[in-house]
Amino acid sequence: MAHLVLVPTPIGNLEDITLRAIRILKESDYILAEDTRTSGKLMKHLEISKPLIAFHAHNEHKALENTVQKIQASKMVSLISDAGTPGISDPGFLLVRACIGAGIKVECLPGPTAIIPALVGSGMSCDRFIFEGFLPHKKGRQTKFMELAEEERTVVLFESPHRLAKCMAQIEEFMGADRNVCVVREISKMFETFHRGTAAELKVYFDQNPPRGEIVVVIEGISKEEAKQKKLEKKR
């Protein structure tokens, strides 16, 4: 039976890969990769010699049907992204959906992701949270911030370095200057940093210290009391 396995790969530290992930990659007929050059370096490090085939945001719609047919003709195929778990903020979900529709067995291994370390390390509530991925760049961005301003759960999102200061300014504008925020940069890498403070404090900091690298933003939700107060104000 055809079998597609989603294999998480390290988001920074190359030691963050499981023994099971290595075994699955070695046993696969071939590996679908977001960027064969990036994945090639990891495979070389792991001493894995398997064919790498590109499956990324520029070709996924065009290649989807052909890729599914190739998987059906194989015993086991692995899907990896440049870093982390395939399918999160990358085109992997399209392939998963198509394979499920085609009756192909789909399996996802547990492994590296930037979301959970950022959330847990933020010091904010972890029992209930929402993940928003990358927010819209322009259209709908302010509306989304207005929605999130009333969210009781902890909010986790991705942000690019050059938009981070603007993001802090918008959190301050729509959620309040005293809203607690944690900006996590370069998780598991040499220069990993956690910046914790209010939206106003972090706006000033990142205005003066433009960041680099991969960034996760964790935003504290409003209290139940605040949520009740806002609902009462809307009814008036």
Q: What is the pLDDT of residues 16-51, one digit of tens each?
A: 999 999 999 999 999 999 899 999 999 999 999 999
Sign, CA dihedral 123-180-215-78, equals: positive
Same domain, yes or no: 69 and 142:
no
103 and 123 belong to one structural domain:
no
- Among the three residues 71, 93, 108, which one is the final residue of a domain in this structure? 108
Q: What is the pLDDT of residue 58?
A: 65
Which CATH number covers residue 78?
A: 3.40.1010.10
Same domain membership, residue 123 and residue 19: no
The full 3-state SS of 130-155, as one line of letters, equals EEEEECCCCCCHHHHHHHHCCCCCEE
236 within domain boundaries: no
Q: Is residue 146 part of a domain?
A: yes
Q: How many residues does the chain have?
A: 236
The number of CA neighbours under 13 Å toward the Cβ of 167 is: 26
68 with 144, same domain?
no
Q: What is the pTM of this model?
A: 0.88
Regarding whether 160 and 69 lie in a shared domain, the answer is no
pLDDT value at position 59?
A: 61
- Whether residue 223 sits in one domain with residue 123: yes
34 falls within a domain: yes
Whether 90 and 145 share a structural domain: no
Same domain, 86 and 149: no
Mean pLDDT for 193-204 is 98
**At a CB cut-off of 8 Å and minimum separation 6, what does 82 contact?**
9, 34, 35, 38, 39, 90
For residues 85 and 186, membership in a common domain is answered with: no
Q: What is the pLDDT of residues 109-144, one digit of tens each?
A: 999 999 999 999 999 999 999 999 999 988 899 999
Q: Of all residues in the chain, what percent carry a pLDDT higher than 70?
A: 95
Q: Count of domains in the chain? A: 2
Terminal Cα distance for the chain, rounded = 61
More confident residue, 200 or 229: 200
Q: Which pLDDT value is given to residue 191?
A: 92
pLDDT tens, position by position, 82-101? 999 998 877 788 999 999 99
Last residue of a domain, one of 81, 108, 135: 108
185 and 150 both lie in a single domain:
yes
Task: Mark whether 120 and 222 lie in a shared domain.
Answer: yes
Give yes or no: residues 50 and 135 share one domain: no
CATH of the domain at 166: 3.30.950.10
Does position 104 have pLDDT exceeding 90, yes or no? yes
Q: What CA–CA distances, in Å, run from 123 to 157, 168, 192? A: 16, 18, 16
Domain region containing 86: 3-108
